[in-house]
Amino acid sequence: MTTSTQSLSSLLCAALAVALWRRRPEQRAGTLLIAEGVGADRIASRVKDPARTLVLYRARDPREAEAARELRARGVPVMIVEGAEHDPRAKEAVSASGLSRLVPDISERRVVVYGPRGFVRYVRGALSKLRQRA
């Protein structure tokens, strides 16, 4: 193969990869929004398609759990994980094994994480173990 043929071949492969990557979001199961310490209004404003969005909300206290229940009243599917900040059961739910158990199709979803810096860092670490981007 000549250099110009190799360059053309590489360019075509790159163009095909970009085209397939751009099509991929429509083929996904939807969006998983993982949040902690964020109000219902802010989360609702991020939900574009409630039929294709699942919210996993980590509520540290009853007030936050009530805010997450408000989302259900708005028609947004919400899974609520209740527990104090350092509760091992609540922390395990947003670990790699917990996320894959709670959301079996997580690898097919676009994942977005909102919350305090420490929470976002922890969840991103769990997602990296599952080979997800947040």
Give whole-number Cα distances, 52 to 15, 99, 104, 108, 115, in Å: 28, 18, 15, 12, 21
* Residue 20, pLDDT above cutoff 60: no
- Please tell me the pTM assigned to this model: 0.75
CATH of 28-129, one of 3.10.129.10, 3.40.50.80, 3.20.20.100, 3.20.20.70: 3.40.50.80
Among 2-16, 29-43, 52-66, 84-98, the least confident range? 2-16
* Residue 130, pLDDT above cutoff 80: yes
Domain range summary for the chain, segments of one domain joined by +: 28-129
Q: What is the pLDDT of residue 27?
A: 52
Q: What is the pLDDT of residue 117?
A: 95
Q: pLDDT category, 16, cuts 50, 70, 90? A: very low
Helices (H) and strands (E) counted in the chain, each on its own, are 6, 4
